[in-house]
Amino acid sequence: MNGTIAAFKSCREQNDTVTYYINEMPSMAKSMNWKDSVKAFIEPWSGPECYDGIPSGCRKGLMELLDSVTSLADIVMELLSEGLGLEPGRLKELTCLESKKIRCHYYPYCPQPDLAMGLKPHTDNSIIAITMQNHVNGLQAKHGQEWVEIKPKDEGVIVNVGDLLQIISNDQYKSVIHRVKANSSRDPRISFGFFFNPGEEDYYGPLPELVTPTKPALYRNCNMAEIRKVENVDDTGIKVLVNSFKL
């Protein structure tokens, strides 16, 4: 992981042409995020162009890291299935990990961190997201009305429940609102996020095993194409995405 972080850091000085962005949806943003980012959709595999969004300097390291993270995601999905009282392979049967996206964020020093955000409050619209970060603080998760610091842990990973898993689990698992503060450290903050989703067209809703007369389905069926069109959290902190699909 440390080698991949170093390679990604050096990519800001490389000469390749890559896909990068500051705000993914600027028309929805009230303020700009103080960061640089690159992203790439890796699977389903559609040819070498899948790698075009990843700078060549860190491509090999990220692909090796993706293999390890995918194995971890399989284990996490088994544990989540058991947590729902289902067979370990039940969620995996849904083929809801077939699409993978990598998102890398570089948060440079911000001279006025109180006037900016590194990344505004949001949820992940995926099934799960697995995140790794370097030693610089900044990530926070919302617990009740408080923001809780998620301190970096050497070689540690963070697993986030996504909005789609909240829908599939019929609210037994809840996606978490999180954010990144603007970086006040002279060292850059670097993170890698690996997002696991189903394909764009398959429809998913609450699992039949989790729906009973006393616990009816809370959501209608939806697919990733619909989900991607909806902002996940509004400016008041309300989870807009999951509410959009409620029955």
How confident is the model over 87-117, as pLDDT tens digits? 999 998 888 888 888 888 999 999 999 888 9
Grade residue 28 by pLDDT with cuts at 50, 70 and 90. very low
Write out pLDDT tens, residues 172-205.
999 999 999 999 999 999 998 999 988 777 899 9
Number of domains in the chain: 1
Residue whose token pair is 């697919």: 223
State the pLDDT at residue 17: 45
pLDDT at 207 over 50: yes
| CATH number assigned to the domain comprising residue 90 | 2.60.120.330
| Stated pTM of the model | 0.85
The sheet carrying 117-122 orders its strands as 117-122, 178-181, 139-143, 146-149
Over range 124-138, report the average pLDDT.
94
Q: What is the pLDDT of residue 154?
A: 86
- Compute the average pLDDT of residues 42-56: 62
pLDDT tens digits, 151-173:
999 889 999 999 999 999 999 99
Q: Give residue-wise pLDDT tens across range 52-73.
A: 666 677 777 777 888 899 999 9
In sequence order, which residues have a C-beta less than 8 Å from that of residue 33 and are 6 or more positions away? Answer: 22, 23, 116, 117, 118, 119, 120
Six-digit token pair at 21?
């962005």
Q: Check residue 240 and give its pLDDT.
A: 83
| Domain carrying residue 85 | 2-244
Q: What is the pLDDT of residue 27?
A: 46
